[in-house]
Structure 1
Amino acid sequence: MASLYEIRADYNRETIVVYQAYAPQIADAALAAQKFVAPFSFGRMTWIKPSFLWLMHRSNWGQKSGQTRILAVRISRAGWERALSQGELTSPEQRVYGSASEWEQKFRAAPVHIQWDTERSSRGAALPCFSIQVGLSRQIIREFVDEWIVGIEDLTPLVRKLNAIRTESSRSLKRSLPVEKIYPLPKELARKLLISR
Structure 2
Amino acid sequence: MPEPTYAIRAAHTATTVTVYQAYSPALGIPAARDGRFPDAWKRDRMTWIKPSFLWMMYRCGWGTKDDQETVLAVEITRDGFAWALGHACLSHYARGFHPDQAAWRREMKTAPARVQWDPEHDLHQRALPHRSLQLGLGGSVAGRYADEWTVAIRDVTPLAHQIHALVRAGHLDEARTLLPTEPPYPTPPGLLDHLRPAPAEENAVYVNGLGRAE
TM-score (norm: length of structure 1): 0.95
**What is the SS of the residue equivalent to 2:80?**
helix
When structure 1 is superposed on structure 2, of 31-40 and 164-173 the one drifting more is: 31-40
Aligned runs of 1:45-64 on 2, under 5 Å? 45-64=46-65
Q: Report if the CA contact (8 A) 2:43-2:146 is conserved.
A: no
**What is the match of residue 114 of structure 1?**
115
Give the Å deviation of 1:78. 0.4
Unaligned runs of 5+ in 1: none
The answer to whether the Cα contact below 8 Å between 1:25 and 1:39 also exists between their aligned partners in 2 is no
Higher mean C-alpha displacement, 40-49 vs 168-177: 40-49
Segments of structure 2 that go 5 or more residues without pairing to the other structure are 199-214
Please report how far the alpha carbon of residue 191 of structure 1 lies from its aligned counterpart in structure 2 after TM superposition. Answer: 1.2
Measure the CA separation in 2 of the matches of 1:119 and 1:174.
15
Indicate whether 1:124 and 2:162 are aligned.
no
Corresponding residue pairs, total: 196
CA distance in 2, matches of 1:142, 1:11: 22
Compare 79-88 and 31-40 and name the one that shifted more.
Answer: 31-40
Deviation at 1:195, TM superposition (A): 7.3
**Structure 1, residues 165-188: CA drift from partner, whole Å, max 9, x if none?**
113211001000000111121222
Of 18-27 and 185-194, the range deviating more from structure 2: 185-194
CA RMSD of aligned residues (A): 1.4
State how far apart, in whole Å, the 1-side matches of 2:189 and 2:93 are. Answer: 20
User: Structure 2-normalised TM-score?
Assistant: 0.87
In the TM superposition, what are the counterparts of 1:129-148 in structure 2 within 5 Å?
A: 129-148=130-149
Q: Distance in 2 between matches of 1:74 and 1:154?
A: 12
Alpha-carbon distance, 1:58 to partner: 0.5
Report the alpha carbon displacement of residue 157 of structure 1 after superposing the two structures with TM: 1.0
Equivalent of residue 169 in structure 1, options 144, 168, 171: 171
